[in-house]
Amino acid sequence: MRTSIAVLGLAALAVASDVHDLTKDSFGSFVAENDLVLAEFFAPWCGHCKALAPEYEEAATSLASKSIRLAKIDCTEQQDLCQDYGVEGYPTLKVFRGADNVQPYAGPRKAQAIVSYMTKQSLPSVSLLQSGEALEEFKTADKVVLVGFFGADDKSSNITFSEVADELRDTFLFGATSDPALAKAEGVKVPAIVLYKTFDEGKSTFEEGFTKDAVAEFAKTASTPLIGEVGPETYAGYMAAGIPLAYIFAETPEERASLAKTLKPVAEKQRGKVNFATIDAKAFGQHAGNLNLEADKWPAFAIQDTQKNQKFPYTSQGSVSDLSVKKIGKFIDDFVAGKVEPSVKSEAVPEKQDGPVTVVVAKNYQEVVIDSDKDVLLEFYAPWCGHCKALAPKYDELAGMFKSHADKITIAKVDATLNDVPDEIQGFPTIKLYKAGAKDAPVDYTGSRTVEDLVNFIRDSGSFHIDASNGSGAETHSMEGVETEGMPQQAPAATKGASSAASGASSAASGAASSGASVVASGASDAAETATKGVKEKVMSAAGAVKEALIDDDDEMGEHDEL
């Protein structure tokens, strides 16, 4: 009796959920019958999935009334289905308009954000505004909205605007009208676009050549606050903006507001050339270290070239008078004119290389790695990274094996937390082979971290095909795993070796703390992840990693091996 009541209770609970649990049999008809579906591909053991569950449930309930359905698929049971949709990590969220029109979900994993994102998805990408009231209401429907004003017979502007809207529909609301009275009331000459915003001057008008690129550019520039705030939600956007970012570090909101006000004329002058943002030095002070500023003297100012990943710290820091319009204005003018040298962080060049492994620092990188006519195998490591520590004795052994070939190959390492090197690295350790004569196209090492596989890699991929193995010797301890500076927001699919759990978690956390990690793209949207791919933003995600490492439960911690 009791059992059956309990079972009934469970059944009732299951039915009460607005999240539809789908299998390979029900999935096809479900996405065919529902115009707009958000599907979560998950694994029961994945911590980020567990964190998402209540948010997802809440979003499902509030979207049910709008006929937007939320579904979930347990990939440990529906492996084929998950494979069909290219699921590589958990959770993966995808937006379905029928089975064939599939888009990644690009918003944060919070109920409110899911509701807002999916609501935008359900609207036509351009809302037709047919009255003054509709326009007024639309103007304040979001932080930023764009309204196109065109002549009724101006097909070309209409098409251009719609194309931009289709592309940017996840980011902005788009409306349009061909009512000449509305254009007149807004004081614009058709064709025109007005971007309404809840900050700065309230609106910006575009009346130039109506090309897709120009319109998209306008949307990007005009929607960026003149002096915004760098934080978890905005960081990825700044990194993807394509122009340098100037940071104003200050500890209190009052100081930030006051400095923003002071520097407004400078920001205005550089609008479209350099973005300006304040950043909370209390919460994200360690990021100053990434920018080669002193990490405990506020206020401070630095520019980051987000394209080349170069940093330009302003060397006077610690006093409001250092950040005057005159001083910063000149610094920025010089920067824009290309007169400021980027700051390069480097350890001292070792006086002699006495270990088996050659030590590379920023200052000898060019000489040892690039200008050398040898093959160079270079490991990028972080002192806090547990996988790097595990690799160290193997790497020494490897270097020893190639000692007699020192005229052809250098086995080297660089502490990437203390040296600015130009390479894109995704996590620690990263190993790359810089082949003689092809130093601009290093080969990434993707094998297992064993001496044997590394030896084979050098034999197969190196320019000299040196074989240091004599068929036996090399050991084969496997040491899989890459530590990213931050915890990725997904657990990789298909693996569940919990072995390195504890060490992974703790070194990621300590790494986050020590690598100056700071502003996090926590709950990072997929957009954030794809929009940016340098090292810096990975570093940025580490502060959140610390938090997550502290609050997450243990079972999935070992899964954070790849981004």
- Whether 82 is a known active-site residue: answer no
Segment interacting with ligand NAG (CB under 6 A) among 64-72, 96-104, 174-182, 405-413: 174-182
Q: Tell whether residue 158 is a contact of ligand NAG (CB under 6 A).
A: yes
Task: Tell the smallest beta-carbon distance from residue 154 to ligand NAG (Å).
Answer: 8
Task: Tell the smallest beta-carbon distance from residue 355 to ligand NAG (Å).
Answer: 18
Task: Using CB under 6 A, pick the residue from 176, 193, 279, 542 that binds ligand NAG.
Answer: 176
Backbone angles phi, psi at 115, to 5 degrees: -60, -45
**Residue (356 or 383) nearer to ligand NAG, CB:** 356
- Do 132 and 186 form a contact (C-beta atoms < 8 A)? no
User: 3-state DSSP call for residue 144?
Assistant: strand
In what helix (H) or strand (E) does residue 191 lie, and over which residues does it extend? none
Catalytic one of 39, 49, 300, 382: 49
List the interface residues with ligand NAG, window 473-492 (CB under 6 A).
Answer: 473
Q: Which residues contact 23 (CB under 8 A, 6 or more apart)?
A: 73, 77, 78, 81
Site string for ligand NAG, 317-356 (x = CB under 6 A): ----------------------------------------
For residue 558, give the DSSP letter: G
**Residue (452 or 529) nearer to ligand NAG, CB:** 452
**Residue (176 or 222) nearer to ligand NAG, CB:** 176
- Do 29 and 23 form a contact (C-beta atoms < 8 A)? no
Interatomic CA distance for residues 189 and 200, integer angstroms? 23
**Residue (3 or 470) nearer to ligand NAG, CB:** 470
Backbone angles phi, psi at 124, to 5 degrees: -60, 150
Site string for ligand NAG, 237-276 (x = CB under 6 A): ----------------------------------------
Interatomic CA distance for residues 190 and 187, integer angstroms? 10
Task: Using CB under 6 A, pick the residue from 401, 433, 508, 512 that binds ligand NAG.
Answer: 401
126 strand-pairing partners: 174
Task: Tell the smallest beta-carbon distance from residue 233 to ligand NAG (Å).
Answer: 31
Q: Tell whether residue 128 is a contact of ligand NAG (CB under 6 A).
A: yes
Interatomic CA distance for residues 8 and 14, integer angstroms? 10
Task: Tell the smallest beta-carbon distance from residue 401 to ligand NAG (Å).
Answer: 5
Interatomic CA distance for residues 529 and 527, integer angstroms? 5
Site string for ligand NAG, 70-109 (x = CB under 6 A): ----------------------------------------
Task: Using CB under 6 A, pick the residue from 468, 521, 527, 528 that binds ligand NAG.
Answer: 468
- Whether 49 is a known active-site residue: answer yes
- Whether 385 is a known active-site residue: answer yes
- Do 149 and 190 form a contact (C-beta atoms < 8 A)? yes
Task: Tell the smallest beta-carbon distance from residue 161 to ligand NAG (Å).
Answer: 8
Task: Tell the smallest beta-carbon distance from residue 191 to ligand NAG (Å).
Answer: 10
Q: Tell whether residue 178 is a contact of ligand NAG (CB under 6 A).
A: yes
Strand locations in 285-420 (E): 300-305, 310-313, 358-360, 375-381, 409-415
CB-nearest residue to ligand NAG: 178
Query: What are 266's two structure tokens?
Result: 């400078």
CA 365 to each of CA 358, 392, 403: distance values in angstroms, whole numbers, following the listed order: 11, 20, 20
Catalytic one of 22, 388, 455, 520: 388
Task: Using CB under 6 A, pick the residue from 3, 65, 446, 470 that binds ligand NAG.
Answer: 470
- Do 63 and 19 form a contact (C-beta atoms < 8 A)? no
Strands of the sheet with 126-128, listed across from one edge: 126-128, 173-177, 144-149, 192-197, 203-206
Segment interacting with ligand NAG (CB under 6 A) among 102-110, 170-178, 275-283, 538-546: 170-178
Segment interacting with ligand NAG (CB under 6 A) among 63-71, 176-184, 197-205, 539-547: 176-184
Q: Tell whether residue 177 is a contact of ligand NAG (CB under 6 A).
A: yes
Segment interacting with ligand NAG (CB under 6 A) among 96-104, 325-333, 468-476, 485-493: 468-476
- Whether 75 is a known active-site residue: answer no
Total site size for ligand NAG, rule CB under 6 A: 11
Interatomic CA distance for residues 35 and 483, integer angstroms? 40
Q: Which residues contact 463 (CB under 8 A, 6 or more apart)?
A: 375, 435, 436, 437, 438
Segment interacting with ligand NAG (CB under 6 A) among 171-179, 194-202, 324-332, 417-425: 171-179
Q: Which residues contact 503 (CB under 8 A, 6 or more apart)?
A: 386
**Residue (127 or 417) nearer to ligand NAG, CB:** 127
Interatomic CA distance for residues 515 and 289, integer angstroms? 8
Task: Tell the smallest beta-carbon distance from residue 474 to ligand NAG (Å).
Answer: 9
Catalytic one of 165, 183, 219, 385: 385
Q: Tell whether residue 150 is a contact of ligand NAG (CB under 6 A).
A: yes
Nearest of 195, 295, 201, 284 to residue 238 by alpha carbon: 284
Interatomic CA distance for residues 260 and 150, integer angstroms? 36
Query: What are 328's two structure tokens?
Result: 């910063």
Catalytic one of 31, 37, 39, 46: 46
Q: What is the SS3 string spanning 213-227?
A: HHHHHHHHHHHCCCE
Interatomic CA distance for residues 18 and 13, integer angstroms? 10
Contacts to ligand NAG by CB under 6 A: 128, 150, 152, 158, 176-178, 401, 468, 470, 473
Q: Which residues are catalytic?
A: 46, 49, 385, 388
